[in-house]
């Protein structure tokens, strides 16, 4: 059974003007971390989301999602009319406490981000912490656990590719 699961964004190029220009075609974010089982075994996790197109007629974005856990790779395409934006980040930060969240600054090797940490429970009883920041797709980091212990992921970097 899953004990800990967290994603850490991988290092890449960071452009200051980029934060105000998303969502747009070519936005790409990568999360890296590990999946640790109660047995003590661990598998690397690498997740990438990339905006590949926008359909003006339907007003929908097409997002490519690639996840690898150990040797298993899953690829899918998602269509959505609602992508994270700088405006959504502002609303998230201003309403963070009202949503039961906590404002936290998250420092990584390539920058510091003002985030809203929200904790939720899944239907299966897992606790999920997400740190929402001003980046494409919003999630700076994520930590999932099935016990009451609290752990903060060790954030190394954030990836944003054009």
Q: Is residue 151 part of a domain?
A: no
* Better-predicted residue by pLDDT, 158 or 52: 52
Side by side, the strands of the sheet bearing 111-121 are 72-80, 60-69, 42-55, 28-37, 2-9, 139-145, 127-132, 111-121, 102-108
Note if the pTM is more than 0.85: no
Residue 14 forms part of a structural domain: yes
| pLDDT one-digit tens code per residue, 20-39 | 579 999 999 888 888 777 67
Q: What is the pLDDT of residue 51?
A: 96
The percent of residues in the chain predicted with pLDDT above 70, rounded, is: 75
Query: What 3-state DSSP class applies to 109?
Result: coil
What pLDDT, on a 0 to 100 scale, did the predictor assign at position 53?
97
Residues pairing with 54 in the sheet? 61
Tell whether the model's pLDDT for residue 124 goes beyond 70.
yes
Q: Which range, of 5-9, 30-34, 119-123, averages the lowest pLDDT?
A: 5-9
Asked, for residue 10, whether it belongs to a domain, the answer is yes
**Domain count of the fold of the chain:** 1
pLDDT for 36 equals: 76
Residue-level pLDDT at 45: 87
Look up the domain containing 138 and give its range: 2-145
Is the pLDDT at 141 greater than 70? The verdict is yes
The yes-or-no verdict on residue 64 having pLDDT over 50 is: yes
Tens of pLDDT, residues 69-79: 888 999 999 99
Q: What are phi and psi of 99, to 5 degrees?
A: -90, 5
**Confidence band, pLDDT 50/70/90 cuts, at residue 12:** very low
Average pLDDT over residues 139-156: 61
The answer to whether residue 155 sits within a structural domain is: no
Cβ-proximal residues to 154 (8 Å cutoff; 6+ apart), any chain? 8
Residue 154 lies in a domain: no
| Torsion of Cα atoms, 12 then 155 then 153 then 66, to 10° | 0
Could you give the 3-state DSSP secondary structure of residue 97? helix
The token duo for 23 is: 């969502």
* Cα 134 to chain centroid, rounded: 11
53 contacts 25 by C-beta, under 8 angstroms: yes
Q: Does residue 160 fall inside a structural domain?
A: no
Residue 158 lies in a domain: no
Give residue 46's pLDDT band: very low, low, confident or very high (50, 70, 90): confident
User: What pLDDT does residue 109 have?
Assistant: 61
């Amino acid at each position: 059974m899953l004990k800990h699961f967290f994603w850490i964004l991988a290092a890449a190029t960071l452009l200051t003007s980029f934060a105000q220009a998303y969502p747009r075609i070519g936005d790409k974010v990568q999360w890296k971390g590990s999946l640790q089982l109660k047995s003590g075994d661990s598998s690397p996790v690498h997740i990438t989301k990339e905006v590949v197109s926008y359909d003006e007629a339907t007003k929908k974005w097409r997002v490519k999602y690639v996840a690898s856990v150990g040797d298993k790779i899953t690829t899918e395409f998602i269509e959505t009319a609602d992508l994270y934006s700088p405006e959504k980040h502002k609303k998230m930060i201003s309403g963070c406490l009202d949503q039961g969240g906590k404002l936290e600054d998250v420092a990584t090797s390539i920058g510091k981000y003002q985030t809203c940490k929200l904790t939720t429970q899944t239907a299966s009883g897992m606790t999920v912490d997400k740190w929402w920041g001003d980046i494409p797709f919003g999630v700076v980091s994520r930590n999932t656990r099935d016990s009451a212990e609290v752990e903060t992921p060790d954030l190394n970097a954030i990836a944003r590719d054009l």
